[in-house]
Amino acid sequence: MEILKTIISTLSFLQKAKAAHKSVGFVPTMGALHQGHLALVKRAKSENDIVIVSIFVNPIQFNNKEDLLKYPRTLEKDAAMLVSMGCDAIFAPDEKEMYPKPDNTVYDFGQLANVMEGKFRPGHFNGVAVVVKRLFDIVQPDKAYFGEKDYQQLQIIKSLVTQKNILVTIIPCPIVRETDGLAMSSRNMQLTAEERKEAPFIYQILQQAKAKANQLSPEELKNWVLQQIASNALLTAEYFEIVDTTTLLPITFWKESVHSIGCIAVFLGKVRLIDNIGLK
Cβ atoms of 243 and 175 closer than 8 Å:
no
Q: Where are the alpha helices (DSSP H) in the chain?
A: 7-19, 35-47, 65-70, 75-84, 95-98, 117-120, 124-139, 151-163, 193-198, 201-212, 218-230
The three-class DSSP label of residue 66 is helix
Q: Counting Cβ atoms within 10 Å, is residue 279 exposed (0-12), middle (13-18) or buried (19+)? A: buried
Q: What is the dihedral of CA 262, 209, 274, 86, to 10 degrees?
A: -90
Integer Cα distance of 219 and 217 in angstroms: 5
Cβ atoms of 239 and 116 closer than 8 Å:
yes
| Catalytic-labelled residue, pool 21, 34, 37, 259 | 37
Cβ atoms of 230 and 238 closer than 8 Å:
no
Q: Counting Cβ atoms within 10 Å, is residue 162 exposed (0-12), middle (13-18) or buried (19+)? A: exposed
- Say whether 21 is catalytic: no
R_g of the chain computed on alpha carbons: 19
- Report helix angle 7-19 to 124-139, nearest 10: 50
For residue 185, what are the CA distances in angstroms to 33, 72, 132, 193, 203? 8, 11, 19, 16, 13
Cβ atoms of 139 and 48 closer than 8 Å:
no
Any idea which residues carry the catalytic annotation? Answer: 37
